[in-house]
């Protein structure tokens, strides 16, 4: 059927994890759109376009066409990894330093246009599950299925905190909570393509659902 499934929502709702599983069940491709904004942020750091939390926006815009983002399956883990200009950056783009600057970077209209065009290209043939903030509103306003995932900020911060802990990263819960709330605010208040539920999206609050239960719920919607 080659559907386009858009899964949007706030940060740390488990969107990417559930999208990955759902794509696998349907034999579709999963595209993590947030990874693209993270890769652009990493590039800006690499080129020293970010200094003391200040972004040199004109310079970044002038070099956007030098950023090549790809997703390739890792042969050992079978997981999709993000590549920035030919280098596997899957781990690096998840660092707290990136999480702190990714929302200001993704507010820049030219950055959004660049990422949205890439997302539309990657999804043009359908059979995709794409997760993000504006997939159902801007990237694929005609998506076949639109899901909007929510959960309380406390629960989301706790989930992200436990993830960091599992990776051996010592980051205080308060810092993770502050970052989650800050990104929620910037993402939903930016002028250009803000995070919001599409009118025709189905909202799923997974505050009290684990990953498996969330997947079951979304699969029910997909198959109904």
* Strands (DSSP E) found in 103-151: 128-132, 145-150
Which of the ranges 30-38, 84-92, 149-157, 158-166 carries the binding residues for ligand C5P, by CB under 6 A?
30-38
Question: 19 or 26, CB closer to ligand C5P?
Answer: 19
Query: Does 146 engage in binding with ligand C5P (CB under 6 A)?
Result: no
**Exactly one of 4, 5, 6, 11 binds ligand C5P (CB under 6 A); which one?**
11
CA distance 15 to 195: 14
Pairing state between β 128-132 and 29-32: parallel
The neighbour count for residue 183, using CB atoms within 10 Å, is 21
Query: Does 161 engage in binding with ligand C5P (CB under 6 A)?
Result: no
Which of the ranges 34-42, 56-64, 84-92, 140-148 carries the binding residues for ligand C5P, by CB under 6 A?
34-42
**Exactly one of 187, 206, 214, 215 binds ligand C5P (CB under 6 A); which one?**
187
Residue 185's nearest CA partner among 163, 160, 159, 153 is 153
Query: Does 156 engage in binding with ligand C5P (CB under 6 A)?
Result: no
Residue 36's nearest CA partner among 137, 122, 125, 160 is 122
How is residue 45 written in tokens?
A: 């750091």
Report helix, strand or coil for 174: helix
Largest CA distance in the chain: 50
Which of the ranges 21-29, 31-39, 59-67, 159-167 carries the binding residues for ligand C5P, by CB under 6 A?
31-39
Residues 95-114 that bind ligand C5P (CB under 6 A): 102-103, 106
User: Footprint of ligand C5P on this chain (CB under 6 A)?
Assistant: 11, 33-34, 37-38, 102-103, 106, 132-135, 183, 187
């Amino acid at each position: 059927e080659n559907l386009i499934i858009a899964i949007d929502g706030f940060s740390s709702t488990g969107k990417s994890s559930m999208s990955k599983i759902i794509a696998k069940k349907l034999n579709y491709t999963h595209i993590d759109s947030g990874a693209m904004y993270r890769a652009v942020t990493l590039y800006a750091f690499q080129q020293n376009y970010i200094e003391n939390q200040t972004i040199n926006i004109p310079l970044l815009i002038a070099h956007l066409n030098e950023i090549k983002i790809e997703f390739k399956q890792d042969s050992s883990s079978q997981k999709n990894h993000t590549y920035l200009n030919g280098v596997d950056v899957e781990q690096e783009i998840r660092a707290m330093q990136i999480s702190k600057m990714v929302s200001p970077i993704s507010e820049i209209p030219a950055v959004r246009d660049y990422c949205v065009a890439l997302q539309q290209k990657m999804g043009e043939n359908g059979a995709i599950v794409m997760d993000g903030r504006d997939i159902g509103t801007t990237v694929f306003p005609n998506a076949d299925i639109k899901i909007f995932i929510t959960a309380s900020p406390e629960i989301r911060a706790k989930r992200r905190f436990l993830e960091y802990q599992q990776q051996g990263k010592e980051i205080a819960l308060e810092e993770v909570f502050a970052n989650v709330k800050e990104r929620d605010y910037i993402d939903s208040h930016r002028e250009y393509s803000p995070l919001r539920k599409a009118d025709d999206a189905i909202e799923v609050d997974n505050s009290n659902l684990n990953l498996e239960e969330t997947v079951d719920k979304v699969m029910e919607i997909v198959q109904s």
